[in-house]
Amino acid sequence: MKQTSDRYHSLSITIHWLTTFVLVLVYASIFLREIFPKGSELRDGLKMWHFTFGAIVFLLLLIRLPLPFLFPPPPILPPPPRWQKFLASSMHFAIYLFLFIMPLLGWLALSAKGKSVLFFGLSIPGPLAINKALAHQLEDWHETIGIIGLYLIGMHTLAALFHHYILRDNALIRMLPRLRRKS
């Protein structure tokens, strides 16, 4: 499909910002759980929501993956140098990899603990046999990559702001929803 706009397709914009919102909920639910004592209803509830939000991120990623092929991104104007394009592509690849790996690691960790993921009342069983040592290792990886993810998201945000305020190109504007003027 030929690009005819100076912005991403509205579906791409919606999925991008919805993913951002759900990621905030993923992190908030897991960080806020620390406030409550182990075994408490609120702590267990926040962990359950963390699993649910993680599954939603994964589903949003599956929707998002074909979008650049269906609706090619608009060009950045003025065009950035090659090295910036390479860095942007590398960052996007790392973020997509993060969005793919994190829910899978969380699901596998729960599976190795003998637990299933609850997704809006549906129980999604895991593929692994109970293995506490493996569960601990998977949780460690999940936590470490989760911290790396915060840095990736932060760098992505800073790059967008750098493009907008320093380079003064349209990189950020392309992903913002159009504001409709009242007549």
Closest CA to 70 of 114, 117, 150, 12: 12
For residue 82, what are its two tokens?
């090659």
Could you give the C-alpha distances from 37 to 24, 46, 55, 118, 134, in angstroms and in order? 22, 12, 25, 22, 25
Domain annotation covers residue 46: yes
Domain annotation covers residue 119: yes
pLDDT tens digits, one per residue of 27-59: 999 999 999 999 999 999 999 999 999 999 999
Contact 114, 147 (CB under 8 A): no
Residue type, 171: A
Domain annotation covers residue 5: no
Domain annotation covers residue 4: no
> Look-up: residue for tokens 């895991």?
126
Number of domains in the chain: 1
CATH number of residue 69's parent domain: 1.20.950.20
| pTM summary value | 0.91
Domain annotation covers residue 2: no
Q: Residue 152: pLDDT above 60?
A: yes
Q: Which domain holds residue 41?
A: 10-175
Domain annotation covers residue 181: no
